[in-house]
């Protein structure tokens, strides 16, 4: 009876280990959004598709009014110098390099000069877009009696990869993964219910057993006593 209890407990805690992260994720998801959070950009672009070059620079003090301009620079793979490719100022975007003509769209803060998100979007990514991008924020904080200049620079190195074409095998293996995950969860739940029942039953049985054992020992010792008395 004892070993069975141990293995049941092991299975139940394995179930908890699987469920706990899922639960934590579910709790975390609806948080955030409101405040400015500096999220790192993606770094892998797919050739022929669009790509968002993320660049967020939060104001140290959100309540202070400010205005900012954003500039983007690009150093393609193999080159040594950054080239100015994009400027965003007074809600007006300007593409400064013909390699990016008609291919850059503003994806940052909208309808404000108080920019905190300076992201841009590259349309139709080509392999020539591989390289390092530099995003530069120039910000003026307006205090009652003076202005304060700050700036921030971020570098993003992107890698352009071929279009991810998914074969039948890949789709099939993903389906199999879900099937096996669900199967495993169901099995664990069934096992858990079975284990709790078994433990409950074992508990009662153990009570009865120990009572019987007690009686047996009691009568055995009586027999022994009788034996000893006879030997004397």
Ligand X SMILES: *[C@@H]1O[C@H](CO)[C@@H](O)[C@H](O)[C@H]1NC(C)=O
* Choices 7-15, 22-30, 61-69, 120-128; region in contact with ligand X by CB under 6 A: 120-128
* Choices 35-43, 123-131, 181-189, 212-220; region in contact with ligand X by CB under 6 A: 123-131
Using CB under 6 A as the binding rule, whether residue 151 contacts ligand X is answered as yes
Q: Which residue of 121, 130, 198, 206 would you call a contact of ligand X, by CB under 6 A?
A: 121
Q: Which residue of 7, 43, 112, 124 would you call a contact of ligand X, by CB under 6 A?
A: 124
Q: Which residue of 13, 94, 128, 221 would you call a contact of ligand X, by CB under 6 A?
A: 128
Using CB under 6 A as the binding rule, whether residue 76 contacts ligand X is answered as no
Using CB under 6 A as the binding rule, whether residue 107 contacts ligand X is answered as yes
Least Å distance, CB 46 to ligand X, is: 13
Using CB under 6 A as the binding rule, whether residue 210 contacts ligand X is answered as no
* Site residue total, ligand X (CB under 6 A): 8
Q: Which residue of 77, 83, 97, 105 would you call a contact of ligand X, by CB under 6 A?
A: 105
SS3 sequence, the chain? CHHHHHHHHHHHHHHHHHHHHHHHHHHHCCCCCCCCCCCCCCCEEECCCCEEECCECCCCCCCCCEEEEEEEEEEECCCCCCEEEEEEECCEEEECCHHHCCCEEECCCCCCCCCCECCEEECCCCHHHCEEEEEEEEEEEECCCCEEEEEEEEEEEEEEECCCCCCHHHHHHHHHHHHHHHHHHHHHHHHHHHHHHHHHHHHHHHHHHHHHHHHHHHHHHHHHHHHHHHHC
What's CA 117's distance to the chain center, in Å? 21
Using CB under 6 A as the binding rule, whether residue 123 contacts ligand X is answered as yes
In terms of CB distance, is 92 or 229 closer to ligand X?
A: 92
Residue 205's φ and ψ, nearest 5 degrees, are: -60, -40
* Choices 10-18, 35-43, 81-89, 121-129; region in contact with ligand X by CB under 6 A: 121-129
Binding positions for ligand X, rule: CB under 6 A = 105, 107, 121, 123-124, 126, 128, 151
């Amino acid at each position: 009876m004892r070993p069975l209890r141990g293995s049941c407990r092991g299975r139940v805690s394995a179930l908890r280990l699987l469920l706990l992260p899922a639960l934590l994720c579910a709790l975390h998801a609806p948080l955030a959004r409101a405040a400015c959070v500096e999220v790192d950009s993606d770094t892998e672009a797919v050739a022929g598709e669009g790509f968002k070059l993320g660049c967020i620079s939060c104001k140290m003090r959100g309540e202070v009014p400010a205005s900012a301009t954003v500039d983007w620079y690009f150093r393609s793979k193999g080159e040594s110098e950054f080239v100015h490719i994009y400027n965003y100022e007074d809600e007006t975007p300007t593409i400064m390099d013909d390699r990016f003509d008609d291919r850059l769209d503003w994806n940052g803060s909208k309808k404000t000069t108080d920019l905190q998100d300076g992201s841009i979007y590259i349309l139709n990514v080509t392999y020539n877009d591989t390289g390092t991008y530099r995003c530069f924020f120039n910000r003026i904080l307006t205090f009652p009696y003076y202005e304060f200049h700050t700036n921030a620079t971020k570098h993003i190195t992107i890698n352009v990869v071929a279009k991810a074409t998914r074969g039948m095998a890949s789709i099939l293996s993903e389906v199999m993964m879900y099937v096996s995950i669900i199967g495993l969860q169901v099995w664990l739940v069934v096992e858990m219910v079975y284990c709790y029942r078994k433990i409950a039953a074992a508990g009662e049985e153990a009570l009865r057993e120990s009572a019987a054992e007690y009686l047996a020992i009691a009568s055995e010792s009586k027999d022994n006593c009788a034996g000893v008395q006879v030997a004397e």
